[in-house]
């Protein structure tokens, strides 16, 4: 295991118990951290990046204790925060150069090569002289990941990376991460977008209210949902009843009525047929049935 | 700690800073500002001489200015970086790297510092460019480095450290910014040089001027002071690290930086402690010196007739031997001498070379003669000593407050030094007591120490190689580079200067004029070469002019102007006109004359040309212009006052003060030649001197500004204190000349009444000239004068011991009749004066006849007395209660009479009465010149006058007019009741002021207030003796003639009066467009009540309203 988390707790000074006894094993490759807003994902990320001190518990990163060996841990970390803006007056290549310098790349020539090749690989070489704040949203994210990767870290922590990106950029970004993960790097991808995880992570954890609600592979999570997804054909007057009774995944108008997908153990009294589940269904089912969190109100 | 990390953070922090608009705007503005300033100062030469004169001032002033700006901007920018760090997640991508907090914080601060340092270097490079291009200034490269480290570096480190720390603690940029700017403002505008400069983080008031001759004179003080801020800044930076909002790499780091922070803080506190205690130690040491002087005050002393001094300069000290021969002033076994406490006495021997016992306590040497010596016996002593002269011993009589007061020229703060002793330079003036002198120095228990005596001096000096010695007397170069100086005349003291001097000479009228400067400070000015042979002539003319004006002769065979370091300063003393800058036959002139713009000779020559062209349209050639420039420079030595300062006191009052010119030539003619001594009155020499200078200043612009003249202030003080007390009171030092002038003028007044002023002065001079270079007893002089003038003078001295009752006089408007006797005009003037007090007094009357102007302020010394017909200057004695009428006859029309009431309660003390109405009569002249004694000249049965000084006059209570105006008008100084009412700001409250033009019995005063809505009123309650018709008049004089007076908008200006009697109120208006400055009629009224109230409101379109006097005259 690349990262082992034991009995991790975080209580903020205002009394908010953000993380409750978290125990996790994070293997190399892409690891997805899923959960609704406020589940404690960001707190966990910030602890893992040594930006925040845990109240108790231990984190072992490639054999280093996160609290005692902070410097060593930092040396193998790359981080792309959620709200990633840029200093207005840095050029694209300067941003990478700065990160490279801080990672201990002393040799100017080597550093320049590394920066250029990284710019090439994230497709930003042509805009290297442009001020970073003039880049498009997708380019900014790519620059973000580039600065996290520049020093070839063993662990990369990526917080909500695809928020606000158009589908094309999102796919491009996921592919970029996957490529990196292939090189034996641990990537912790925190997101509330189910699609990010389903397409790239081999292992995942679902967090809720400061706790790990599920840990395993996305397939295992899907398996738990098999036979629990239904497609219903409804009249307009029935739609309201279904909406109140079941967690509705999608509602599509069809001819005179509606075609609705719901997750439930069983559906009675409606024109229902089973539907093959995806991770999004699994996430909703998990929230509804395992954690009883779902509400349509 | 990895340097690479620090450099990386610094590099990108600098990039951010350089790309910020705030920084760019600041850079452009500051470069423009300093560039223009340098261009004006160094290329155009338009910003005075003080900066270019001393080359190190150029970077000093530039960095001084720049430093103020950079402090403010650094505060803003540095507090900004933490705000940015706090707000943006972007910083976190750098936080996750392995660099430590210390590396990050140091990197950030170094990034900011280096951008500012670079800007400093750019500024310095620009200044250096102007410096090199300047035709006026030399380049001192070292100074560029020195001031960079002394001014910029500590300030930057401190300001950045302080602002970052504060930002981390407060976590609010706006608050941090306000607090820090407030701090800078407080330092600049309030604290300044207070608390011994210890809070002066910007080195705003710290004396940092560096002399070209001796460099810094206070380097340890400067270094500890700058150390406070450099170490303080480092300490704040260290404390920032543990407070920084990022988890440290290891917990241990937290303690390391707290440790370093504390260590630096301790260092800073130690520096502050050292800084303050050094100054306080000096002060307490001075108190010890004084205490010791007081202890030895009653010990026996001698008068030295001859000194033989031998001095050998060593790199760090001097060794000296002195042989003195004199006379015991008292019988005793032991005698005391004062020698600078920094000098160590090695041996004392008698005339036969026998060793004598002595004790040394700080500055005192008490020599046991080994036998009883009788008063009048001759004594010979030889004393050997060595060491360094301690400047702290000088001017024990000058209070710390004055001594520690900031000394600024332009923006440069200059250290105050009284002695210099470096391997390259020595300056020992008598004030340093560099050789043993009998008795003690300053004591607050006696005045004896002020007494000087003439002695003969012979001085032999051996300097270090390459240096020359300068002193008084005939100089002879002996073997081995030794120089001997033999004084031509006895002197009160001797001065020694040693340095690398270049000499320029000119001979004129058997006096050798010599100019000693540093070789690099030589006046190598092309224009001057053309007049080299004319300069002696110019000097001779000037010398003759001075001698003619003062009736005194320059006694010495040579006159040396010796350049001394800029830090040298002297203080004024009440008992002498000579400051330490003036020594017999030499003047110790400030380095390159930096405080005199005239010394920028190229400019002075150009200005002379421009003036000539502008005035008469005449073109003068270079030679003539150079000659005029030299004359202008020579005038420096003829000005009694060097500096006129108009300062604002109490927020609304302008105060004009003058600083005596330390280079005033007069002591050469008087003080170093005559010595009138009196054990009771050490001021005696000064009394005679001031009397001979005929110093009179009164009326005029000084009075308009201050509201009271210095003579009037002196009068008021003499009514409250004795002359003796005032002499000892440092608080009134600036009025000392006036106080002495009042007393001296009164002292000789009885003689003048009998002999006339000119004769008295001539006789006094003759007496002095029979006793040049001798010690003359004051009492003997008075006795001689008494004999000559057949009057008593010595008794007057007893009035100097206590506060006196002052007389006051009522002076009527003079009557003038032009008597035309068949074409021949004779002007008959009758002037009536009454001494209305219980004490006798004397007034001085001056007639101004025809068109000739004379007297007045701003004239050179002695000139007030010349060319004045003695007939036009008269003294008149008025005994208590006497009224006298002076009848004088003139061929030309009198223009005015000025009555100077001398020491009196009159305000103004000097009353100018312009002659307005001359009555024409055709008849024979029956009047003759005489002084009539009248029964009573005051009062009149037909008129009733109520003046603002009377109890029947009242003012409405001042209204609250808003806090700000109240504050601006606050007057806390109540020493002198009457104030000046200058045009700039009009008084919000009724303000008492005096002027010859106002009505008054002996105080010609009025109240002035800003015009308004009529709610501020002056009320005269006039008693009505019996019902009837009365003509009501008003005295409408408005101050406004002088340049500083009011400029009322006279358009439609009128005063609004209400005349209230019984139930009736009648309005009356007085047109003030052309006031006659005499009684103006308000109308004829019938009154049948006991009293009438005349009310004047401030509702007028004029700028101000003046409440003075109301007159009622009964009409049948």
Instruction: Check residue B858 and give its pLDDT.
Output: 33
- Tens of pLDDT along B603-659? 888 888 888 888 777 788 888 888 888 888 888 888 877 666 555 554 455 566 677
ipTM above 0.90 for this complex: no
How close does chain A come to B66, measured CA to CA in Å? 26
In a domain, B734, yes or no: yes
Exposed / middle / buried, residue A179 (Cβ in 10 Å: 0-12, 13-18, 19+): exposed
Cβ <8 Å between B249 and A71: yes
Q: How many CB pairs under 8 A join A and B?
A: 87
Q: Which of B902, B934, B966 is the last residue of a domain?
A: B934
Q: Which residue of B14, B98, B244 to mutate against A (max A Cβ within 10 Å)?
A: B98
Task: State the average pLDDT over residues B320-345.
Answer: 94
For residues B390-421, one letter each, b for 16 or more C-beta atoms within 10 angstroms of the residue's C-beta and e for the rest, the string is bbbbbbbbbeeeebbebbbbbebbbbbbbbbb
- For residues B685 and B766, state if they share a domain: yes
Q: Is B20 on the interface with A (CB under 8 A)?
A: yes
Nearest CB to B247 within list A70, A78, A84: A70
Which residues in chain A are closer than 8 Å to B248, comparing Cβ atoms? 70
B830 plus B683 within the same structural domain: no
**Shortest CB distance from B5 goes to which of A77, A78, A102?**
A102
Cβ of B98 within 8 Å of Cβ of A53? The answer is no
Q: Catalogue the E-assigned strands of A12-62.
A: 17-26, 29-34, 56-61
Q: Are residues B18 and B161 in the same domain?
A: yes
Average pLDDT over residues B493-497: 94
Whether B704 and B822 share a structural domain: no
Check residue B422 and give its pLDDT.
93
B249 to chain A, any CB pair closer than 8 A? The answer is yes
Residues B969 and B953 in one domain: yes
* Residue B263 forms part of a structural domain: no
Residues of chain B neighbouring A154 (CB-CB closer than 8 A): none
Let me know if residue B642 belongs to a domain: no
Q: B117 touching A, CB under 8 A?
A: no
Least confident of A73-87, B18-32, B77-91, B780-794: B77-91
Residue-wise pLDDT tens digits, B162-175: 888 888 888 887 88
Q: Which residues of A24-58 are buried (b: 16+ CB within 10 A; e: fewer)?
A: bebebbbbbbbbeeebbbbbbbbbbbbbbebeebe
**Residues A74, B96: C-beta atoms closer than 8 Å:** yes
pLDDT category of residue B698 using cuts at 50, 70 and 90: low
- pLDDT of B862 over the 50 cut: no
Please provide the distance, in angstroms rounded to a whole number, between the alpha carbons at the two ends of chain B.
Answer: 108
Q: Are residues B991 and B1034 in the same domain?
A: yes
Quick check: B621 contacting A, CB < 8 Å?
no
B251 touches chain A (CB under 8 A): no
Closest approach of chain A CAs to the CA of B78, in angstroms? 16
CB–CB contact A104 B4 (8 Å): yes
Could you give the residue range(s) of every CATH 3.40.50.300 domain in chain A? 3-222
When mean pLDDT is compared across A11-25, B63-77, B553-567, B586-600, the lowest value belongs to B63-77
* Residue B975: predicted pLDDT: 59
Give which of A101, A135, A157 to mutate to test B binding, by max B Cβ within 10 Å.
Answer: A101
- Whether A203 has a pLDDT exceeding 60, the answer reads yes
Q: Using DSSP, how many helices (H) and how many strands (E) does chain A show?
A: 10, 14
Chain A interface with B: residues with Cβ < 8 Å: 49-53, 70-72, 74-75, 77-87, 89-90, 94, 98-99, 101-104, 106, 144, 147-148, 151
Share of chain B above pLDDT 70, in %: 90
Q: By the CB < 8 Å criterion, does B96 face chain A?
A: yes
A107 vs A114: CA distance, rounded Å: 10
A-interface mutation test, from B81, B92, B96, most A Cβ less than 10 A away = B96
Do B1022 and B886 sit in the same domain of this protein? no
- Report CA B608 to chain centroid distance, whole Å: 28
Q: Does B260 touch chain A (CB under 8 A)?
A: no
Q: Do B4 and A106 touch (CB under 8 A)?
A: yes
Assess whether pLDDT exceeds 50 at residue B45.
Answer: yes
Extended beta strands in B629-752, E state: 641-649, 653-660, 675-677
Residues B864 and B975 in one domain: no
Superfamily of domain A3-222: P-loop containing nucleotide triphosphate hydrolases (3.40.50.300)
Residue of B nearest to A72 (CA): B98
> pLDDT class for B585, splitting at 50, 70, 90?
very high
Amino acid B941: pLDDT: 58
A98 with B95: Cβ contact below 8 A: no
User: How far apart (Å, rounded) are the C-alpha atoms in residues B524 and B509?
Assistant: 25
The verdict on a CB contact (< 8 Å) between B16 and A89 is yes
Q: What is the pLDDT of residue B468?
A: 93
pLDDT band at A86 (very low <50, low <70, confident <90, very high): low
Among the partner residues B92, B98, B249, nearest to A79 by beta-carbon distance: B92
SS3 B1025: coil
Residue B984: pLDDT above 80? no
Within 8 A of B250 by CB-CB distance, chain A residues are: 70-71
Rg of chain A, C-alpha, whole Å = 22
C-alpha dihedral (B273, B276, B279, B284), degrees to nearest 10? -80
B853 in contact with A, Cβ within 8 Å: no
For position B1037, which CATH number holds?
A: 2.60.120.260
Give the pLDDT band (50/70/90) at residue B696: low
| Least confident range of B218-222, B1005-1009, B1069-1073 | B1069-1073
Residue in A closest to B17 by C-alpha: A89
Whether A85 and B99 lie within 8 Å, measured CB to CB? no
Query: pLDDT tens digits, residue range A226-241?
Result: 888 888 888 888 888 8
Q: Are residues B863 and B778 in the same domain?
A: no
pLDDT band, residue A255 (cuts 50/70/90)? confident
d(CA B696, CA B714): 12
The confidence score (pLDDT) of residue A241 equals 84
Question: Which region among B283-292, B295-304, B734-743, B881-890 has the lowest average model confidence (pLDDT)?
Answer: B734-743
B896-916 tens-digit pLDDT = 898 888 888 888 888 888 888
Tally the C-alpha atoms within 13 A of residue B1097's C-alpha that lie toward its C-beta.
14
Instruction: Give chain A's mean pLDDT.
Output: 85
**Residue-level pLDDT at B863:** 39
Q: What is the DSSP string of B245-313?
A: SS--SSTHHHHHHHHHHHHHHHHHHHHHHHHHHHHHHHHHHHHHHHHHHHHTTTS--EEEEEEEEEEEE
**Of A84, A83, A114, which is closest to residue A98 (Cα–Cα)?**
A114
Of B547, B543, B470, give the one whose Cα is nearest residue B509.
Answer: B543
Q: Domain check: are B348 and B461 in the same one? A: yes
Domain span holding position B1087: 943-1115
Question: Is the predicted pLDDT of residue A200 greater than 90, yes or no?
Answer: no
Cα–Cα distance, B257 to B498 (Å, whole number): 52
Which alpha helices (H) appear in A150-193, and where do they start and end? 167-182
Contact indicator for A210, A18 with CB cutoff of 8 Å = yes
Does residue B508 fall inside a structural domain? Answer: no
Single residue among B188, B221, B254 that ends a domain in this structure: B221
pLDDT bin (cut points 50, 70, 90) of residue B1071 is confident
Contacts of A74 in chain B (CB under 8 A): 96-98, 249
Examine the fold and report which residue of B177, B202, B221 is the final residue of a domain before the chain moves on: B221
Best mutation target, A64, A80, A102, A158, to test chain B (most B CBs within 10 A): A102
Least confident of B77-86, B562-571, B716-725: B77-86
Contact A104 B248 (CB under 8 A): no
User: How many structural domains are present in chain B?
Assistant: 5
The whole-number average pLDDT for the span B1099-1111 is 87
Mean pLDDT value across chain B = 85
Q: What is the pLDDT of residue B1045?
A: 34
pLDDT, one tens digit per residue, over B523-552 is 767 677 777 778 888 888 888 888 887 888
What are the pLDDT digits (tens) for A13-33? 999 999 999 999 999 889 999
Give the per-residue pLDDT at B79.
Answer: 62
Does the CB of B93 have a partner CB in chain A at under 8 Å? yes
Please say if the pLDDT value at position B963 is more than 70: no
Q: Give tens-digit pLDDT for B819-845.
A: 998 888 999 999 999 998 888 888 888
pLDDT digits 0-9 by tens, B413-439? 999 999 999 999 999 999 999 999 999
Task: For chain A, say whether B86 makes contact (Cβ under 8 Å).
Answer: no
Using the predicted structure, report yes or no on whether residue B865 has a pLDDT greater than 90: no
Alpha carbons B527 and B525: distance in angstroms, whole number: 6
Give the chain B residue nearest A146 (alpha carbons). Answer: B93
Nearest CA in chain A to B4: A106
pLDDT of the residue at B985: 63
Pair (B430, B314) in one structural domain = yes
Class of the A224-290 domain?
A: alpha beta
CATH (domain of B895): 2.60.40
Residues facing residue B327 across a β-bridge: B303, B378
pTM for the full predicted model: 0.79
3-state secondary structure of B729: coil
- Render pLDDT for B19-30 as a digit per residue (tens, 0 to 9): 888 888 889 999
- Residues of chain B in contact with residue A70, where contact means CB-CB under 8 angstroms, are 247-250
Closest partner CB to A53 (pick from B16, B20, B247) = B247
B685 shares its domain with B755: yes
Based on the number of CB atoms within 10 Å of its own CB, is B1086 exposed (0-12), middle (13-18) or buried (19 or more)? exposed
Chain B CA closest to residue A49? B96
Is a pLDDT exceeding 60 seen at residue B700?
Answer: no
């Amino acid at each position: 295991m690349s990262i082992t988390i034991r009995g991790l707790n975080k209580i903020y000074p205002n009394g908010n118990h953000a993380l409750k006894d978290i125990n996790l094993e994070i293997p190399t490759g892409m690891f997805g951290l899923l959960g609704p807003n406020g589940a404690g994902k960001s707190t966990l990320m910030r602890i893992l990046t040594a930006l925040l001190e845990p109240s108790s518990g231990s984190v072992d990163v490639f054999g280093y204790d996160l609290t005692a060996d902070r410097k060593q841990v930092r040396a193998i970390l790359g981080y792309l925060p959620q709200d990633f803006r840029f200093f207005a007056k840095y050029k694209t290549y300067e941003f990478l150069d700065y990160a490279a310098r801080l990672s201990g790349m002393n040799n100017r020539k080597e550093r320049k090569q590394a920066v250029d090749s990284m710019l090439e690989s994230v497709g930003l070489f042509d805009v290297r002289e442009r001020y970073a704040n003039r880049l498009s949203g997708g380019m900014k994210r790519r620059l973000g990941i580039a600065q996290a990767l520049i020093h070839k870290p063993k662990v990369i922590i990526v917080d909500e990376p695809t928020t606000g990106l158009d589908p094309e950029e999102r796919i491009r970004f996921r592919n970029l991460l996957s490529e990196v993960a292939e090189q034996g790097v641990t990537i912790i991808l925190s997101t509330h977008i189910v699609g990010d995880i389903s397409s790239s992570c081999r292992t995942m954890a679902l967090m809720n209210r400061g706790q790990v609600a599920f840990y395993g592979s996305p397939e295992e999570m899907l398996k738990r949902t098999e036979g629990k997804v239904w497609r219903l054909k409804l009249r307009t007057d029935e739609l309201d009843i279904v909406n109140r009774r079941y967690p509705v995944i999608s509602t599509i108008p069809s001819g005179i009525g509606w075609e609705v997908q719901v997750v439930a153990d069983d559906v009675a009294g409606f024109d229902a047929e089973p539907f093959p589940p995806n991770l999004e269904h699994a996430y909703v089912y998990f929230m509804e049935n395992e954690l009883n969190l779902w509400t349509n109100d | 700690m990895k340097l690479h990390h620090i450099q990386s953070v610094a590099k990108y922090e600098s990039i951010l800073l350089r790309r910020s608009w705030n920084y760019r705007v600041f850079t452009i503005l500051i470069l423009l500002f300093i560039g223009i300033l340098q261009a004006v100062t160094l290329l155009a030469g338009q910003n005075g001489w003080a900066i270019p004169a001393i080359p190190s001032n150029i970077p000093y002033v530039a960095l001084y200015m720049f430093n103020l700006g950079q402090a403010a901007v650094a505060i803003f920018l540095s507090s900004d970086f933490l705000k940015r760090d706090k707000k943006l997640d972007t910083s976190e991508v750098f936080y996750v790297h392995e660099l430590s907090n210390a590396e990050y914080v140091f990197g950030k601060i170094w990034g900011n510092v280096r951008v500012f340092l670079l800007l400093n270097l750019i500024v310095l490079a620009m200044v250096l460019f102007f410096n090199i291009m300047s035709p006026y200034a030399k380049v001192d490269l070292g100074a560029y480095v020195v001031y960079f480290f002394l001014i910029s570096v500590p300030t930057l480190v401190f300001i950045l450290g302080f602002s970052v720390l504060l930002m981390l603690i407060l976590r609010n940029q706006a608050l941090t910014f306000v607090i820090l700017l407030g701090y800078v403002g407080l330092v600049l505008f309030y604290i300044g040089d207070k608390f011994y400069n210890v809070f002066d983080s910007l080195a705003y008031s710290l004396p940092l001027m560096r002399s070209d001759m001796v460099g810094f004179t206070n380097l340890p003080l400067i270094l500890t002071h700058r150390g406070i801020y450099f170490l303080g800044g480092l300490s704040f930076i260290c404390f920032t690290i543990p407070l920084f909002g990022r988890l440290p790499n290891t917990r241990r780091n937290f303690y390391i930086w707290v440790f370093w922070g504390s260590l630096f803080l301790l260092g800073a506190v130690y520096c502050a402690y050292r800084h303050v205690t050094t100054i306080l130690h000096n002060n307490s040491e001075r108190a010890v010196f004084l205490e010791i002087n007081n202890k030895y005050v009653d010990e026996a002393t001698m008068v030295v007739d001859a000194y033989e001094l031998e001095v050998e300069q060593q790199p760090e000290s001097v060794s000296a031997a002195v042989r003195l021969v004199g006379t015991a002033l008292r019988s005793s076994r032991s005698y005391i001498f004062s020698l600078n406490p920094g000098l160590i006495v090695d041996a004392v021997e008698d005339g036969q070379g026998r060793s004598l016992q002595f004790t040394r306590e700080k500055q005192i040497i008490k020599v046991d003669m080994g036998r009883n010596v009788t008063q009048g016996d001759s004594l010979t002593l030889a004393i050997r000593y060595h060491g360094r002269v301690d400047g702290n011993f000088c001017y024990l009589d000058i209070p710390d407050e004055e001594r520690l007061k900031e000394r600024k020229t332009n923006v440069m703060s200059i250290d105050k030094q009284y002695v210099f002793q470096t391997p390259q330079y020595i300056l020992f003036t008598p004030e340093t007591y560099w050789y043993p002198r009998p008795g003690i120095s300053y004591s607050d228990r006696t005045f004896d120490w002020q007494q000087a005596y003439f002695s003969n001096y012979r001085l032999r000096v051996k300097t270090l190689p390459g240096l020359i010695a300068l002193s008084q007397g005939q100089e002879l170069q002996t073997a081995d580079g030794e120089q001997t100086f033999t004084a031509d005349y006895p002197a009160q003291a001797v001065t020694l200067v040693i340095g690398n001097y270049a000499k320029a000479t000119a001979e004129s009228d058997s006096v050798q004029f010599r100019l000693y400067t540093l070789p690099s400070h030589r006046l190598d000015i092309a224009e001057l070469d053309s007049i080299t042979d004319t300069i002696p002539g110019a000097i001779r003319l000037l010398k003759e002019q001075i001698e003619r004006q003062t009736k005194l002769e320059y006694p010495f065979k040579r006159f040396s102007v010796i350049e001394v370091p800029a830090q040298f300063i002297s203080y004024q003393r009440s008992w002498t006109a000579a400051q330490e800058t003036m020594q017999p036959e030499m003047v110790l002139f400030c380095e390159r004359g930096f405080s005199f713009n005239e010394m920028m000779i190229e400019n002075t020559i150009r200005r002379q040309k421009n003036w000539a062209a502008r005035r008469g349209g005449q073109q003068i050639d270079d030679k003539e212009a150079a000659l005029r420039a030299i004359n202008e420079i020579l005038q420096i030595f003829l000005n009694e006052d060097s500096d006129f300062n108009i300062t604002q006191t109490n927020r609304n009052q302008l105060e004009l003060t003058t600083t005596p010119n330390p280079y005033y030539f007069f002591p050469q003619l008087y003080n170093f030649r005559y010595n009138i001594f009196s054990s009771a009155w050490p001021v005696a020499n000064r009394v005679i001197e001031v009397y001979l200078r005929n110093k009179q200043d009164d009326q005029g612009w000084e009075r308009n500004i201050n509201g009271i003249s210095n003579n009037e202030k002196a009068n008021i003080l003499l009514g409250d204190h004795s002359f003796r007390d005032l002499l000892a009171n440092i608080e009134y030092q600036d009025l000392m000349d006036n106080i002495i002038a009042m007393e001296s003028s009164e002292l000789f007044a009885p003689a003048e009444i009998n002999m006339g002023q000119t004769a008295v002065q001539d006789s006094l001079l003759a007496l002095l000239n029979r006793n040049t270079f001798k010690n003359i007893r004051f009492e003997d002089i008075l006795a001689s004068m008494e004999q000559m003038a057949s009057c008593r003078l010595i008794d007057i001295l007893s009035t100097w011991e206590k506060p006196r009752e002052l007389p006051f006089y009522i002076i009527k408007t003079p009557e003038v009749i032009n008597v035309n006797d068949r074409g021949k005009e004779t002007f008959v003037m009758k002037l009536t004066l009454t001494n209305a007090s219980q004490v006798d007094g004397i007034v001085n009357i001056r007639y101004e006849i025809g068109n000739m102007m004379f007297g007045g302020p701003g004239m050179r010394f002695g000139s007030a007395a010349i060319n004045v017909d003695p007939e036009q200057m008269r003294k008149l004695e008025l005994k208590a209660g006497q009224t006298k009428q002076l009848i004088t006859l003139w061929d030309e029309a009198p223009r005015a009479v000025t009555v100077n009431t001398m020491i009196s309660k009159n305000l103004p003390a000097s009353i100018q009465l312009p002659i307005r109405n001359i009555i024409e009569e055709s008849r024979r002249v029956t009047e003759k010149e005489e002084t009539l004694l009248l029964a009573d000249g005051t009062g009149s049965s037909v008129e009733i006058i109520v003046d603002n000084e009377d109890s029947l006059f009242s003012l409405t209570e001042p209204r609250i007019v808003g806090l700000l105006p109240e504050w601006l008008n606050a007057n806390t100084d109540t020493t002198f009741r009457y104030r000046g009412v200058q045009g700039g700001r009009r008084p919000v409250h009724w303000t008492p002021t005096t002027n010859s033009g106002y009505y008054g019995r002996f105080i010609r005063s009025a109240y002035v207030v800003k015009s308004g809505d009529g709610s501020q009123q002056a009320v005269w309650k006039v008693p009505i003796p019996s019902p009837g018709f009365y003509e009501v008049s008003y005295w409408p004089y408005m101050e406004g003639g002088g340049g500083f007076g009011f400029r009322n908008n006279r358009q439609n200006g009128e005063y609004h009066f209400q005349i209230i009697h019984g139930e009736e109120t009648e309005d009356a208006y007085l047109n003030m467009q052309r006031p006659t400055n005499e009684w103006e009629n308000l109308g004829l009224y019938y009154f049948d009540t006991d009293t009438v109230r005349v009310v004047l409101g401030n509702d007028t379109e004029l700028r101000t309203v003046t409440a003075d006097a109301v007159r009622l005259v009964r009409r049948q």
